[in-house]
Structure 1
Amino acid sequence: MNSVLRIVTTLLLLSGCTAANSASLPYDAWRLGFSSPNYMEVWIETADVIDMQGIVYRRAMSGVSAIQTPPNNSGDPRGWPLRPGWGKGKYVTGADLPKKIFVRWQSLVEPQTYKMSIDIRDSTREIMRKGEKTFCAADGKWITGYRKAIVIGLAPGGIAKVWATGPCLTPIEITRVQAEVDPRGPYEGKAGGEYDSLSDESKAYVEKFGVPYGSWK
């Protein structure tokens, strides 16, 4: 087989795998998003996904989570929102629905590095596949919506809460996970134990009020 034919064959195989992986979804792709409580800044080193076909998607998401840092300590980081948003994230294009999600992140207010594995149950995937008639106030239309997003809230102490949600639909809580400390520290020990600095707003809040451990049930 010459090199050109080999490349074409490989591309066809990859495109076939992508089509097969996403065939069970009633939409083009599902989304993975992250958020954190006010001022409780985190840095996501990596979020890796294993889909139902056993294919691994490395760094499906990384970087900062969605967060608010209102000035003058006017925000409240305690507890989880009643209606969490989509968070900051990405679509996991070409993937089937998730089976496992692995996350390693830095809680910058402590500072501490955590890692965890989230098992996505069949019941969650059924929620993500099920269409639901809903009214979108933003454009005044009825649509068939899907909870095509997994949103993960990350809080100090290694607490994570997981929801399935979608446009114009009420989020459904999926699970709560207690992560474990990664003793290697940030970047698997490759950063010499150094963490990024907090923003001025987060630093001011933590210095005055501390971290409200125990509020993220």
Structure 2
Amino acid sequence: MSNFLRVAIAAFLLSGCTLANSETLPYKAWRLGFSAPNYMDVWIETADVIDVEGQVYRRAMSGIAAIQSPPNNTGDPRGWPEKPGPGKGKSVTGANLPKKIYVRWQSLVEPQTYKMVIEISESTRELMRKGEKAFCAADGKWITGYREVLAINLAPGGMAKVWVMGSCLPAIEVAKVKAEIDPRGPYEGKSGGKYDKLSDQSKAYIEKFGVPYDSWK
């Protein structure tokens, strides 16, 4: 077999693998969402995604994480949620399934700036590809559902937990990550060390009860 033919076959097989990868998504787009424990305000500076094809999606998500801050300190921020929600986020349109997610955020109750890389395993991507029969109580129908949501809960101390979930399928925990402090501070050092403002409800809770760091270990 000539070298030219070998190269041609290799190129064909490689293009076939690329095509197969691009067709592994059984839905239009997957969603990236963030939440935080009650009163533990979080500002996400950026969440950048690298998909399995090596494409980079910068600022796939940024802004305020989903949070509940009931009045009169009636909420409880301690521990990880038993039934996590999808959080506040966006669909990562055009991306294949994720390989890595880089997150830099401000934990406003401390205040502190954290950064981390979440490695998404192949077993997690398999969960996101797998269709399952599910009963949707909202419309009373059985469907083939997918866990197309990657939900990340960010807690003080740089702790993070990751789940995959679907609108009619229960969440499955897939990762727990300890972030590192970003020594540059907020906004990569461009704000002169100034953090975004803490909400009044969160400030009242922290002043009375403090931050329950040990509950997220």
Q: Give the TM-score normalised by structure 2.
A: 0.90
Q: Give SS of 2:203's match.
A: helix
User: Identical aligned pairs, as a percentage?
Assistant: 76
1:63 equivalent in structure 2: 63
Give CA deviations for 1:61-111 in whole Å, capped at 9, x if unaligned: 000000000000000000111110110000000000000000000000000
Residue 146 of structure 2 aligns to which amino acid in structure 1? Y
Number of residue pairs matched by the alignment = 199
Provide the rounded CA distance (Å) in 2 between the counterparts of 1:27 and 1:38: 32
Provide the rounded CA distance (Å) in 2 between the counterparts of 1:53 and 1:143: 30
1:132 equivalent in structure 2: 132
Q: Aligned ranges for residues 149-168 of structure 1 at < 5 Å?
A: 149-168=149-168
Provide the rounded CA distance (Å) in 1 between the counterparts of 2:20 and 2:62: 26
2:214 equivalent in structure 1: 214
Q: Is contact 1:112-1:181 (8 Å) kept?
A: yes
Provide the rounded CA distance (Å) in 2 between the counterparts of 1:207 and 1:20: 54
Provide the rounded CA distance (Å) in 1 between the counterparts of 2:131 and 2:35: 25
1:97 equivalent in structure 2: 97
Q: Give SS of 2:44's match.
A: strand
Residue 72 of structure 2 aligns to which amino acid in structure 1? N
Structure 1 unaligned residues grouped into runs of 5+: 1-18
Residue 162 of structure 2 aligns to which amino acid in structure 1? V
Instruction: Give the C-alpha shift of residue 21 in structure 1.
Output: 6.6
Residue 58 of structure 1 aligns to which amino acid in structure 2? R
Residue 199 of structure 1 aligns to which amino acid in structure 2? S
Q: Give the TM-score normalised by structure 1.
A: 0.90
Instruction: Give the C-alpha shift of residue 196 in structure 1.
Output: 1.2
2:79 equivalent in structure 1: 79
Q: Does the C-alpha gap of structure 1 residues 21 and 126 become closer, same or farther in structure 2, counting only changes over 3 Å?
A: closer
1:175 equivalent in structure 2: 175
Provide the rounded CA distance (Å) in 1 between the counterparts of 2:211 and 2:75: 13
Provide the rounded CA distance (Å) in 2 between the counterparts of 1:20 and 1:47: 27
Residue 163 of structure 2 aligns to which amino acid in structure 1? W
1:8 equivalent in structure 2: none
1:43 equivalent in structure 2: 43
Instruction: Give the C-alpha shift of residue 23 in structure 1.
Output: 2.1
Q: Is contact 1:33-1:87 (8 Å) kept?
A: yes
Matched, 1:115 2:112: no
2:14 equivalent in structure 1: none
Q: Give SS of 1:195's match.
A: coil
Q: Is contact 1:45-1:187 (8 Å) kept?
A: yes
Provide the rounded CA distance (Å) in 1 between the counterparts of 2:21 and 2:56: 12
Provide the rounded CA distance (Å) in 2 between the counterparts of 1:115 and 1:206: 23
1:9 equivalent in structure 2: none
Q: Is contact 1:162-1:176 (8 Å) kept?
A: yes
Q: Is contact 1:22-1:94 (8 Å) kept?
A: no
Provide the rounded CA distance (Å) in 1 between the counterparts of 2:203 and 2:99: 37
Structure 2 unaligned residues grouped into runs of 5+: 1-18
2:9 equivalent in structure 1: none
Q: Is contact 1:131-1:145 (8 Å) kept?
A: yes
1:189 equivalent in structure 2: 189
Q: CA RMSD in A?
A: 1.1
Residue 138 of structure 2 aligns to which amino acid in structure 1? A
